[in-house]
Structure 1
């Protein structure tokens, strides 16, 4: 990997939130040059680098060399990889190690990794000394286009996913596209589900572009940067309108109510189902449910599922190894979703490709009947 030159300077996407506005930088060589970037933007700050054992082994040395070269005091904090890391015990460990490293309130917590590390490190940054500086350095496609942007942080509990956390915006996001070359095909595909999501929400032209250019996104280069930038701009615009998800930011959860229930039903076992795969199945279910309710054409549901299938993503419950239990188990998980309000179920449904909307007070009987049909397809 090489640092970006003047000819391939990072693409910059601003997130406009008043005095808490920040930039997303997308490009190559951003891990190696992070020391220079941080020293210029945050002079005199120390950095606690939170990463997992897998990502740290690949990227931490290059990051730390850059930090050292810029004269930045830093401390690496390593956690185990995987969704199980997002729990109270690991949060306590990270917080304790930040404090043990004598990091001050004005210093920075830097999340080097995917969505799990970003969510955990961001929550720690939000609560240590009542709020430290925070930088996201996402190394997975899913994190670059979704979880690193917008300030959602948190951990899971036995009651469900992301039920304990805080909205806490980073001061900077550095999305190094070189890091994506180290991902397995499965991990990259899982992130691609979130890319496709932006087209399915409200950008049918982008979804059509993806249908024609998805191979370029997978191969890298300009198509990949373009897809990431479009996704980040879409999310940044929604976050600017609705930072704490009291309005249309909920649209970003297309597929997530079903998907989170599936993750819960598999015990967050990444060997069976990772988050992006759950989202892919969840989006396909959201469109099938919309078609069943007469909201969108069955052809649209088939079209979006066909594209996800083409890139290698799962779209059916039958694609999950080991199954997901019975309908009661799924309904219980859905009932714990963060979008439930006063017991009423909220889903993101669709009237067509790029025509998603927030459906409040969805009839649980209809959801149960739909899931019963979905389980019968296994």
Structure 2
């Protein structure tokens, strides 16, 4: 069978939210490129499914009208007015929009949607007039030529070879691009293990669909989550820092299942609920390792660049922002006809600068002894000044930023 050969200036490997964001932004700039993904869509992606205000901000920038016309579909998206943090003793702090709720002017802090649905919607927005979209195309091998890259893979019609000046890795934590350009070693100090399982019929879901983080007494330095979905379903999961998992030799899957069966705050809520799938595990490359995400003729975005928010485990928003930022750097490189490393020297700074505070908090939390973790949480989450400051001021600022302020990218 004849090998299909493609020559392109820019090739994006991976069509998840980060890769699609890069592609749509490049298309809006009129820059032709190729985007490939091993999967056909729809396809499942193990995730917490929380779509935060970072996602809203990027969508406003690249797909005007998407948030108003798509995120409002209540068959797919469940709006969450805020978060509920539940301490080991059962006390909780709600980070929600109390004033706006009464005035019917509520803009959700989160939308919850299964990744199988959200990612398919995004892929459907790829501009095939500018982007050569190759779904169901797995890249098996990458070679560095003199000035270009050569990708070898298998598509729906057989073998395929892609030659490109610029290679962008958007293919997740186990990126084939990363394996060819950077250090693939897992940084246990900036990595987490997690599991996910969809459930139906959980008791006690808040009327405003608050997403819940519960910190179980039996397992410090970890959290259990319940994120409400449409149709009485919920994304339920459990996560823990990999360094603590290794230190205590914890089986995260077994710990998750045991919590549902025995934890006093969870047993009653799951008594009449029904799991919709088997438990699925995944790893989270967290922001904080400062993994180099650029070089001569290559960039990394999303999970491949290790930029999942370390305090929440949320990676869709940070991944999409990295894709948007990558496109700005690529636009300059395209105009100057130069894809050398010097064109991307400030890229790491730009994709990490919104995560620096979370990185510092994560490092601080991991210095706290396990026996003092509950006391630390209580001191922080039940602090009345902090609660008032967040609810009265910060939430309004976050929403205003997401819906009205453009994303600033400093290339220099």
Higher strand share: 2
**Greater RCO, 1 or 2 (C-alpha within 8 Å, sep 6+):** 2
TM value normalised by structure 1: 0.28
TM value normalised by structure 2: 0.26
Q: Which has the larger radius of gyration?
A: 2
